[in-house]
Chain A
């Protein structure tokens, strides 16, 4: 079966497939990176600071964790459509629109998970640094760094969500060949066309991609643990 898939995949590899793979990687990595840069500091601040509306914001982010992708897609679609508040940017049916939709889905997940991790472990770190006279921004940075092992799992969760997402990217990307077609939307298209073999190979490539990223990240984690 694997040999058959490999032979079939080799035969199918074309410029379009390489383009799909490239777009998938760019979209997934950028949306994971942007979400991590926003979600993780947000989660850290939520876990280690007290301010009015903190509890509400936390509930909102927790609710956002179960935001249906099509709802996220709809929100971004309305925001970026010609009559929408950001219509003048002309971003609809483009890669940036897909990244925005994915960030909307991933930021609440990363922020909530970071908040839970940091909340349980930040107290001794914060107390120590606060009395030693370290500035607030450095305290937040050190809290994140001290929890880096656990936070890698948060990044992988966000990556997993980004690479497997189909509803939102389909709505705001439009599945345009060579422009916004990614692995998940291509699988959907091939299935609808009845090209099940192509769909299976694309699915296998998607799984291999996820496996490769997980293996690289886990290797980095092991290296850090050993050192």
Chain B
């Protein structure tokens, strides 16, 4: 059971030009991104290519956009999610915007279901700020999954997770996408995860959009030298196969 917004669909979102400068060292400059409803995007690129910056800029642009003006329409998970000095249960409750007008019982039902799906139910009364890195990451994911959002912006949501946590998180994200029909923008270094969860690829290199298109086709065709080099280093095929084999 998930709390629902009145209108869950949005028409194609045009981000407009996205520019961010970080001193002399780094400049992100992307002309325009067209984000489609009910589509999953994997944002890939080497360290420092601007993936997290792009996600933050997108979150900011979306917050200003009328299509996402309803409270909680956007779910943004930063690379290091913030854990409030509250119990795990109360941390997750913050994911439910008061404007949705849910009763405490309804909220509790949702919270328990989200915590259970991410294997955190036994920690519900523990202080959220004292969880381990992986537990905190799963708690932040649970917080986002309390409500049907129009778009989920996840910055390496599985970066701190062990294999069991990874499996739980992946299933939870996948189930959430099926039930909520929301758009996913996923920054990750785990190509196998991107392959399983995403349809579209956005590949960044040095702050520039180098390749975009259907994920599997683009990965196979390797349209640019930098993508080819990235895939070589990530050993995508080996990783993908071995992870699938283990699963």
Contacts and interface: CB of A to CB of B under 8 A. Distances in A.
| Number of chain A interface residues as a range | 10 to 19
Given A132-B95, A134-B97, A127 B78 contact: yes
Interface string B86-109: 000000001101110000000000
The B interface is mostly helix, strand or loop, or mixed, namely loop
Interface string A103-139: 0000000000000000000001101111111110010
Nearest to A130: B63
B82 interface: yes
B78 A135 contact: no
Contacts of B147: 133
Contacts of A133: 70-73, 97, 99, 147
A123 B144 CA distance: 18
Interface string B46-72: 000000000000010001000000111
Contacts of A131: 59, 63, 72, 74-76
A179 interface: no
Contacts of B85: 145-146, 148
Contacts of A124: 78, 80, 82
Contacts of B74: 131
A132 to B, nearest CB: 5
Interface of B: 59, 63, 70-76, 78, 80-82, 84-85, 94-95, 97-99, 127, 143-144, 147
8 contacts: A125-B84, A128-B94, A131-B63, A132-B144, A133-B73, A133-B97, A134-B98, A227-B127
Leading 6 A-B pairs by shortest Cβ distance: A133-B71, A133-B72, A133-B97, A124-B82, A131-B76, A128-B82
